[in-house]
Amino acid sequence: MNNNTFHYPLFKKEDIDAFFALFQNNLANFVIISVAMLGMGYPADIVFGRVIPGAAVAVLFGNLYYAHMAKKLAVKEQRTDVTALSYGISTPAMFVFLFGVMAPALAFTNNPETAWKISVAACFIAGIIEASMGFIGKWLHRNIPRAAMLGALAGLALTFIAGEMMFNTLQIPVVGLVVLAIIIVGIIGKIAMPFKIPASLFAVIIGTVLAYLFGYEKLDGISEGLSQFGFFPFLPTLATIEGMGLLFGTSVSIFAVVLPITIYNAIETMNNVEAVGALGDKYDIKESMIADGVGTMIGPIFGGAFPTTVYLASTGSKWMGAGRGYSILNGIVYMFAAMFGLIAVVSSIIPLAAIAPIMVFVGVSLIATAYQTSHSKYYPAIAIAMIPYFSNYLMTRFNNEAGEVVSNISPAIVPLGQGALISAIILGAIVVCVIDHDFKKASLFSFAGAVLSFFGIIHASAVAFNASFEYSVGYVLIGIYFLIMSKSRLVQQGQMTDQEKIIDRKAN
């Protein structure tokens, strides 16, 4: 069979199920973005006129490109069973950008327009980093301990996602507790819902009905929501350029959030592409990571503010026997949904208490994943990596209005919370290295902490020369201590003993 006679179908029946699975995933993300941003205080014209259309453009680009990659691979290997990679907004990165970029930017500026521009610039930079990871991603994957990375995200998940969203869930217990119970039964308990409706969708429907039934939402809100139908064109914007100056000015501390979550996002793309490769579709990992980065950069050009990625759901699509049609259809559907206000309609009708429990589950899942996918000996590293985001939560939520109260609890709360994602990775990585008795590497992470704190990337309110002297000195001292330990005969003997006694208690 030659390339001229080979036919790789544009669409087949197996693409239908794969489309609905991917559509639901992306729809949940779009609705969460809308509800969360509106709840923060961002106006509807920014949310539905800029952010959602920009995100839809990024999703359209990625889905079409991955359909193109699928065709290339199918033609190259003369196979009709090639499945396009699933693509959309990265869920972990979405929450980090919502609560680690957009919320702080709005708190810093008290101006939604300015905060949006900062967020758009941060997303564009994330795209640059993500594309660059196509060249250095494997090196970072080998050298940054996974337990430290996941522990840092677990800290964010515990505070801003699971914790914050649990508060929103219980604002209307009649709605929130019922929705949470359905999520627990359907997703955690793995019990099918009536008519085989996906548990998350069933929970949102029941929660929304209860909210209107008990009067927490007014029926005229439905007609108001339907009035959101309109035309939201995809228009290029200069917000990225304007936001750059703001990002590297008064809001530079936000950059400390962007770098590590982008590295994590890129590594997850790498893992997901490798997982699909194990099932037979061996895509070029570098090309995929660059495509993710380009998609993430295209979104901000049209007002979007959220990174994109290859989904783990790619393996599910492969099992379903999907081709490339589901990917193409997903991109086109979201283009029209964003352009004609469907996302705005859904977000206007659904109350926050009906969707917050889903976010609680996402947060809890991120915490559970950190432990389930790590060796049990690294649990202390995960735990210590979670602490900086607890400080960041206190700092972000209370320091502006009650700074004296926070300071009286401990003067360390604010500096520990500044650059939390990076400091969490540094601390977690040090613990991982010590557990492995790799004290030389522990010293390298310590010295990295010294440099980062010296220039104000972590433990400081702004980037500056000698920004956090005491933290810099502290990291240098422990770095020297670890170097001394690396030369200790007792440590070398202990390493041999540990290697002989290791018992694999890995949960998975």
pLDDT, tens only, 49-79: 999 999 999 999 999 999 999 999 999 999 9
Determine the pLDDT at residue 507: 37
Q: Poorest-confidence range of 120-129, 135-144, 174-183, 274-283?
A: 135-144
Determine the pLDDT at residue 444: 96
Q: ∠ CA 403-408-412 to the nearest 5 degrees?
A: 85
Determine the pLDDT at residue 263: 81
Determine the pLDDT at residue 214: 92
**Host H or E run for residue 402:** helix 379-409
What's the burial of 13, exposed, middle or buried (CB within 10 Å: 0-12/13-18/19+)? exposed
Determine the pLDDT at residue 400: 57
Confidence of residue 502 (pLDDT cuts 50, 70, 90): very low
Share of the chain above pLDDT 70, in %: 92
478 vs 92: which has the higher pLDDT: 478
Determine the pLDDT at residue 228: 72
256 vs 411: which has the higher pLDDT: 411
Determine the pLDDT at residue 387: 94
Q: Are 391 and 417 in contact (CB under 8 A)?
A: yes
Compute the average pLDDT of residues 346-358: 83
Q: Are 347 and 224 in contact (CB under 8 A)?
A: no
B/e letters for 277-312, b = 16+ CB within 10 Å, e = fewer, are eeeebebebbebbbbbbbbbbbbbbbbbbbbbbbbb
Determine the pLDDT at residue 138: 74
pLDDT single digits (tens) 425-436: 999 999 999 999
Handedness of CA 126, 127, 128, 129 (dihedral sign): positive
Compute the average pLDDT of residues 364-390: 90
Determine the pLDDT at residue 402: 54
Compute the average pLDDT of residues 20-32: 78
Determine the pLDDT at residue 352: 82
Domain ranges of the chain: 14-372, 418-501
What's the Rg (C-alpha) of the chain?
23
Which of these, 321, 319, 339, 341, lies nearest to 331 by C-alpha position?
Answer: 339
Compute the average pLDDT of residues 357-362: 81
Determine the pLDDT at residue 403: 57
178 vs 32: which has the higher pLDDT: 178
451 pLDDT more than 50: yes
Q: Are 264 and 155 in contact (CB under 8 A)?
A: no
No. of H helices and E strands in the chain?
24, 2
169 vs 16: which has the higher pLDDT: 169
pLDDT single digits (tens) 207-265: 999 999 999 988 776 776 677 778 888 999 999 998 988 777 655 667 777 877 888 78
Compute the average pLDDT of residues 430-444: 95
Compute the average pLDDT of residues 90-100: 84
How confident is the prediction for the chain on average, in pLDDT?
A: 85
500 pLDDT more than 50: no
Determine the pLDDT at residue 503: 38
Determine the pLDDT at residue 508: 38
395 pLDDT more than 50: yes
358 pLDDT more than 90: no
What are the angstrom distances between the C-alpha of 40 and each of 98, 324, 485? 9, 37, 48
pLDDT single digits (tens) 319-342: 878 899 999 999 999 899 999 888
* Integer Cα distance of 455 and 468 in angstroms: 7
Q: Are 27 and 355 in contact (CB under 8 A)?
A: no
pTM of the model: 0.75
Determine the pLDDT at residue 66: 95
Determine the pLDDT at residue 347: 78
Determine the pLDDT at residue 291: 93
Determine the pLDDT at residue 447: 97
Residue 384 is given by DSSP the state H
Determine the pLDDT at residue 346: 80
